Amino acid sequence: MLQAIGLTSESRRDLPPAVDNLSFEAPPGSLTALLGAPGAGKTTALRLMLDLEPGRGTTLFRGRPLHRLGRPCREIGVLLGDVPGHPARTARGQLRMLAAAVGVPAARADELLDIMGLGALRGERLGTLSLGMDRRLGLACALLGDPHTLLLDAPSAGLSPRESGWLFGLLRAHAGRGGTVLYTTADPKEAARTADHVVTLDAGRLVAAQDVASFARTRLRPRVAVRTPHAARLADALSREARARRRSVEVVTEAGSRITVYGSSCPEIGETAFRHGVLVHQLADEIGDTGVPAPGPLPAPGSVLAPALVPAPAPGTDDRAVRVPRPDPGRADGSPYGHPRGGTPGDARRERGDRRPRSTDGRDDRTGGGRCTPRGLGRPVRGPLRPVRYELRRMFGTPAALLTVAAVLVLSVLIAVPLARAGRTSLPDLFAAWPALLPLPPAALGAGLLGALSFGEEFRYPALAEARGCVPRRLGLLLAKLAVTAGAALLLALVTAAADLGALRLVYGADAIPVPGNWPELAVDWAVLAVGCGWVGLLGAGVFRITTAGVASVVVVPTVVVPLLRTVLDGPSVRTAAGFTRRLHESGWAAWLDWSHQVDRWLPVLSGLLAQPFALALALSLTALLCAYLFIGLSRRVRW
């Protein structure tokens, strides 16, 4: 059961809200269509349900609000537009990556590909899929967590009749297993053909909530709406005159003083009422596709179309839109809260059997009176359930990482071989292919690019989204990205140094290119440089939400931060840290910590590394970017 209660979007620039006090129910085991013309507020309503749009109101998924769902992907499947993902990623790679985010086995991806008829296209890139195949893949993404509720925005838009029939057959099978399906459409005929219940919107307001039989009978035929205090008398007169004239006129008595007439017109009904002396309060044609009254006499003051949140009626019963008085102390009849005999809203609700659902904590979730629940408050931030596996599949699911590694290797070798011929470059810089005119060696720039792509792809191709209960700025995901980026940077640094050494020895001979005796210390420096650049690129892209900003952050370290530090640190040294290890042993700290001789060996190396301006610049840059990242992520004004 899905229950939307009092959904209201925020108005902008003095315009009315796109969705205004919308309440309805989507029962389980059936398909519910959210019908309305373009601009009626259908998509905004779905985004309000998912807490993606600022506004008020409450949406209950099987009795629980969204922020109380432990794993939203296991409860709600969402398809809003096209499949978000990198166009170079394969359909299978996309599903396997999202399977890690949802926390289901990778075999679930292959199972859904076969169910959706995409088994033969599992190796196709997302950018090459047709609209129909893309829609099938979107449904597969929505069904990954085997959710109970499906929220789909215009799922059949642009599809052929055959593809549309397959789509709704799949949705019907999901509903047959007890699931809830809510989808939007602008075609009333499609809603009548495919849905079990139809909720009609106009200008963000509810027009009617009906079963499909009542919808087809009352909303797809031309009709005349009549309001009169003598409804039964006028209905009898219209029926008798139609039989006398042998005309096909159907008169349906609605609730209260309203009747609906099919097969007649306003002038004919008005003349009949005049001949029989029947007072008419309203006489208007109604638009057949949405049920919105055409221009004409206004309804009685204070009456609006709104739902009564009651269980869905059995098929075949009359499920017309319930006209519920809106709270309006200024009504002409002077009745408070719009109730014709006075009293309280609770009295009015009890009279019409309106049973409002309560939240799981026992507090009343009713809307109205300024008590709507604010959106986006208290919702916990969630990330992928298996972040390391997700990040590995994200990085290696596109050719960008492999192309970066290949480009770095080729460029590094092409730089190292001419540098060795000149003979003016030291061996460490030669193995790193780092001439003086470059701010960074190719491997460090490549590591920074890999780190920048890690977050840049999340924001450019948002496979993670709040609609799926996953967001890319989760701290657990950050740690996974840092670990995977560090591993990729170390691997890239090792392969690059080995390729340069092999190329140099192949060209100039092994005797001309010896291995330095202090190669362990040099390897530590090289690893710190690669990992530091990778992390700077990652955090820069995470803060500024773009890959270019991450790469720029890497380049800024040697070109801006290092010169500033040298300006500050240049000058005579008043104090030095020489003899730090000896003083540790004299003070007894080394014995208390049970340090080995290997620690004594590496401590000077690490202290010397931190004394280098470049290493210190990397540390300062990483600290600043990490603080900025945490500030943006923890700030309440910024949506994660």
What's the rounded mean pLDDT across residues 72-78?
Answer: 86
pLDDT at position 320, please? Answer: 33
Contact (Cβ atoms closer than 8 angstroms) between residue 148 and residue 180: yes
Note the pLDDT of residue 34: 93
pLDDT category of residue 580 using cuts at 50, 70 and 90: low
DSSP state of 358: B
Decide if pLDDT at 637 tops 80: no
Residue 188 has pLDDT above 60, yes or no: yes
CB atoms closer than 10 angstroms to residue 555: 17
Mean pLDDT of 382-397: 87
pLDDT band with cut points at 50, 70 and 90 for residue 437: confident
Return all residues near 274 (Cβ < 8 A) that are at least 6 apart. Answer: none
Count of other CB atoms within 10 angstroms of residue 639: 13
Neighbours of 317 (CB within 10 A): 11
User: DSSP letters of 407-463?
Assistant: HHHHHHHHHHHHHHHHT-S-HHHHHHT--TTSSS-HHHHHHHHHHHHHHHHHHHS--
Q: What is the pLDDT of residue 424?
A: 80
pLDDT band at 373 (very low <50, low <70, confident <90, very high): very low
pLDDT surpasses 60 at 346: no
**Which one is predicted more confidently, 385 or 413?**
413
Is the separation of the CB atoms in 215 and 198 below 8 Å? yes
Of 6-15, 68-77, 288-297, minimum mean pLDDT range: 288-297
How wide is the angle at C-alpha 409 spanned by C-alphas 404 and 415, nearest 5°? 120
For residues 617-626, one letter each, b for 16 or more C-beta atoms within 10 angstroms of the residue's C-beta and e for the rest, the string is bbeebbeebb
Q: Per-residue pLDDT for 383 more than 50?
A: yes
The DSSP bridge pattern shows strands 197-202 and 180-185 to be unpaired
The reported pLDDT for the residue numbered 608 is 55
131 by DSSP, 3-state: which?
helix
Quickly list DSSP for 203-272: TTEEEEEEEHHHHHHHHSS-EEEEE-TTHHHHHHHHHHHHHHHT---EEEE-STTEEEEES--HHHHHHH
Tell me the three state secondary structure of residue 280. Answer: coil
Per-residue pLDDT at 299? 33
Computed over every residue of the chain, the mean pLDDT equals: 77
In whole angstroms, what is the distance from residue 233 CA to residue 273 CA?
A: 9
* Residue 499 or 354, more confident: 499
pLDDT 10s digits, 444-455: 999 999 999 999
Instruction: Tell me: pLDDT of 604 over 70.
Output: no
Contacts of 566 (CB under 8 A, 6+ apart): 613
The residue among 286, 288, 277 whose CA lies nearest residue 258 is 286
Binned at pLDDT 50, 70 and 90, residue 174 comes out as very high
Q: How confident is the model at residue 343, as a pLDDT? A: 37
| pLDDT at position 120 over 80 | yes
171 pLDDT band, cuts 50/70/90, is very high
- Does residue 310 register a pLDDT over 70? no
* Residue 32 · residue 196 · CB < 8 Å: yes
Residue 319: pLDDT band (50, 70, 90) is very low
Interatomic CA distance for residues 626 and 482, integer angstroms: 11
Work out the percent of the chain whose per-residue pLDDT is above 90: 29
Taking only the tens place, the pLDDT of each residue in 610-636 is 557 788 888 899 999 999 988 886 554
Contacts of 271 (CB under 8 A, 6+ apart): none
pLDDT at 353: 38
pTM of the full structure: 0.70
Q: What is the mean pLDDT of residues 301-330?
A: 32
DSSP letter, residue 385 = S
pLDDT of 430 > 60? The answer is yes
Q: How many residues does the chain have?
A: 640
Say how far apart CA 20 and CA 202 lie, in whole Å.
10
Of 572 and 127, the one with more pLDDT: 127
Q: What is the predicted pLDDT for the residue at 408?
A: 95
The whole-angstrom separation of Cα 141 and Cα 161 is 22
| Mean pLDDT score, 294-305 | 32
Per-residue pLDDT, 377:
38
Can you give the pLDDT at residue 308?
28
CA geometry: angle 17, 21, 27, nearest 5 deg: 125
Rg, Å, the chain Cα set: 34
Confidence grade of residue 399 (pLDDT, cut at 50, 70, 90): very high
* Spatial contact of 210 and 320, defined as CB atoms under 8 Å apart: yes
How far apart (Å, rounded) are the C-alpha atoms in residues 541 and 446?
14
Mean pLDDT of 262-279: 88
In terms of Cα–Cα distance, which of 142, 25, 161, 60 is closest to 94? 142
| Confidence grade of residue 339 (pLDDT, cut at 50, 70, 90) | very low
Report CA dihedral (237, 240, 244, 245) to the nearest 10 degrees.
60
pLDDT score of 297 more than 70: no
Q: How confident is the model at residue 429 (pLDDT cuts 50, 70, 90)?
A: confident
Most confident of 47-61, 273-287, 404-418, 581-595: 404-418
Residue 413 pLDDT > 70: yes
Q: Which residues pair with 8 in a beta bridge?
A: 56
pLDDT: is 574 or 269 the higher one?
A: 269
Note the pLDDT of residue 248: 81
The residue ranking higher by pLDDT, 222 or 437, is 437
Nearest CA to 1 out of 82, 75, 100 is that of: 75
Give me the amino acid identity at 518.
N
